[in-house]
Amino acid sequence: MRDIIGDAMTETSFAGRVSRWYEQHARDLPWRRPEVSPWAILVSEVMLQQTPVVRVVPAWQAWLERWPTPAALAGSSPAEAIRMWGRLGYPRRAVRLHECATAIVERHGGAVPDRLEHLLALPGVGTYTARAVAAFAYGQRHPVVDTNVRRVVCRAVAGEPDAGPTTRPADLVAAEELLPAEPAAAALASAAIMELGAVVCTARSPRCDACPVESTCAWRASGRPAPAGPTRRPQRYAGTDRQVRGLLLGVLREATGPVPHQRLDQVWADDVQRARALAGLVTDGLVEPVGETSFRLIGDGPPAPVAG
Q: Do 38-136 and 241-297 come out as alike in CATH topology?
A: no
Q: Which residue has better confidence, 216 or 227?
A: 216
Q: How many CB atoms lie within 10 A of CB 168?
A: 12
142 with 131: CB under 8 angstroms?
A: yes
Task: Look over the chain and give the mean of its residue pLDDT values, rounded to a whole number.
Answer: 93
What is the structure's pLDDT at 2? 43
C-alpha 1/C-alpha 12 separation (Å) is 16
What is the structure's pLDDT at 17? 97
What is the structure's pLDDT at 45? 98
> Which positions are annotated as active-site residues?
45
The percent of residues in the chain predicted with pLDDT above 90, rounded, is: 86
Q: Which CATH number fits domain 38-136: 3.40.50.620, 3.30.1280.10, 3.40.190.10, 1.10.340.30?
A: 1.10.340.30
What is the structure's pLDDT at 145? 97
Q: What's the pTM value of the predicted model, to 2 decimals?
A: 0.91
Residues 150-161: tens digit of each pLDDT: 999 999 999 999
Write down the domain spans for the chain.
38-136, 241-297
Mean pLDDT value of segment 196-202: 97
What is the structure's pLDDT at 306? 53
Say whether pLDDT at 131 is over 80.
yes
Convert 99-128 to b/e letters by CB count within 10 Å (16 or more is b). Answer: bbbbbbbeebeeebbeebebbeebebbebb
What is the structure's pLDDT at 4? 47
Q: Which CATH number fits domain 241-297: 1.10.10, 2.20.25, 3.40.50, 1.10.3430?
A: 1.10.10
Nearest to 101 by CA among 56, 48, 46, 39: 39
Say whether pLDDT at 126 is over 80.
yes
Q: Which residue has better confidence, 217 or 231?
A: 217
